[in-house]
Amino acid sequence: MRQTIVAGNWKMNASKETVNTLVMGILSGMSDVDSKVIVCAPAPYLSQVEALITHSQLNLGAQDLNVNASGAFTGEISADMIKDFGAQYVIVGHSERRSLYFENNEVVARKVQVALDNGLTPLFCIGETLEQRESGNMESVVSAQIQAVIDLSGIGAFKDIIVAYEPVWAIGTGVTATPQQAQDAHAFIRLMLAKNDADVAQTTPILYGGSMNPGNAAELIGCEDIDGGLIGGASLKAQDFLQICKAG
């Protein structure tokens, strides 16, 4: 039985005031949440969130990491820095990183490996664009994204990876994949993992991301191979996020 996981990706949306209000709001409604809940904050706010969530069941993640341990990499953050603020999770390969910052499958796979080497759990994002889906290439795109990690780290690495299937056309668009579309993609991902290792495939959490909200979360998370959600926009409103956390 896989535990439901709900992760919030705040992206580049935060101020000291909004972080305080958001985290306090989430904490106030956590008592009847069974899911594992993670908030992925922008790097400058990791310290603030760390202090706010002490002794709570809320978990902290970052949104990206550099593959180097330290040095002359202006603007970047390392795995050690992320851990220094008590974060145990890091989003890797988000579609915005892939498209806006040109991270290809090999770069993303290296980041996954560096996260694992440092004891961080990567939220490993994969997913196809609308053009790729409409041209019938969803499966080949997603396969290549996963295969890059298997090639570098081996299938066993997926014991410590959370996969997030995020169709690019559904991210931040208000267009959600239908439960059937999402379930089909998740089943395909699990089958690909199973072809490499059946046990790993059964335990790897696969989250759905793409305009998940309080109105559609229960149906999506209720699908056999959907183990929770990676939430962008709706994670910025405490009540919406909590409703999604309770849908699992």
Residues of this chain that interact with ligand PEP (CB under 6 A) are 9, 166, 171-172, 209-212, 230-234
Smallest distance, ligand PEP to C-beta of residue 31, A: 25
Pick 39 or 200: Cβ nearer ligand PEP:
39
Pick 89 or 200: Cβ nearer ligand PEP:
89
Smallest distance, ligand PEP to C-beta of residue 89, A: 13
| Closest to 30 in 3D by CA, of 59, 72, 58 | 58
Question: Residue 135 carries which DSSP code?
Answer: T
CB 27 within 8 A of CB 238: no
Pick 109 or 234: Cβ nearer ligand PEP:
234
User: Residue of minimal CB distance from ligand PEP?
Assistant: 232
Pick 103 or 166: Cβ nearer ligand PEP:
166
Which residues have CB under 8 Å from 98's CB, separation 6+?
Answer: 104, 108
Residues classed as catalytic: 94, 166
Smallest distance, ligand PEP to C-beta of residue 125, A: 7
Which residues have CB under 8 Å from 111's CB, separation 6+?
Answer: 64, 65, 67, 92, 93, 103, 122
Residue 46 sits at the vertex; the CA angle it makes with 227 and 204, to the nearest 5 degrees, is 20
CB 241 within 8 A of CB 221: no
What distance in Å separates the CA atoms of residue 63 and residue 123, rounded to the nearest whole number? 9
Smallest distance, ligand PEP to C-beta of residue 199, A: 28
What distance in Å separates the CA atoms of residue 142 and residue 227, rounded to the nearest whole number? 18
